[in-house]
Every structure is written in structure tokens, then in C-alpha cells.
Amino acid sequence: MPKECELTGTRGRAGRNVAHSNRVTPRRFDPNLQNVSFLSDALGRTIPLRVTTRTIRTVQKKGGLDSFLLSSDETKLPSKARRLKRRVQKALSGR
């Protein structure tokens, strides 16, 4: 299971630990991923996703999963989020 946010594509970053003695060792900064189920009004069901805590706050601020996806630029979304956005758009256009 990759350590990547399914809505924003946020991945881990590389860095270094610097000890008091100035010894430098490599380390990773992994994102804080959580398993969350978002309710999609357009699709009429919950969608389980693995997202960062920052993305959860952003989705809540935008007013839900549907409005987050519709307001996001498609080129910046990962493939799973792009497919989900197209399904939401198709469901909304069918209404």
C-alpha cells in the first residue's frame, strides 16, 4: 500500500536527522494518512479513501467531497481522484 494521499497525491519526503554532535543520518517524513469514508451526495453513497489529515480539513472547508473534486484542477489530481471526479460529474449531469 503506497504512502500517498488518494485525493491530493501528497507523498513522503526525504530529509536528514542532525544530532547534537552534528552527525547527519537520512530519514523520511511520511504523511499522516488516515482511512476515512466521505459521503458523496451526487453518487448517493460513502466512498472510503486513504487521505492525509490536511486533506480531510480541506474537504470539510470546501463543503464536502463533491465540491472539493469539482473545484480541483484535474491535472493536479491523482488518477483515482480523477476517475472519481468524472463519476461525480456524470452523476450530476444526469440529474
Domain ranges in the chain? 13-93
Residue 1: pLDDT over 90: no
Q: What is the pLDDT of residue 14?
A: 97
3-state secondary structure at position 92:
helix
pLDDT greater than 90 at residue 59:
yes
Q: Are 6 and 80 in contact (CB under 8 A)?
A: yes
Within 8 A by CB and 6+ apart from 20, the residues are: none
Residue 87: how many CA atoms within 13 Å on its side-chain side?
14
Q: What amino acid occupies position 44? A: G
> For the whole model, what pTM was predicted?
0.88
The predicted structure's pLDDT at residue 8: 95
Overall fold of domain 13-93: Ribosomal Protein L24e; Chain: T; (2.30.170)
What pLDDT digit, counting tens, does each position of 76-92 carry? 999 999 999 999 999 99
* N-terminal to C-terminal alpha carbon distance within the chain: 36
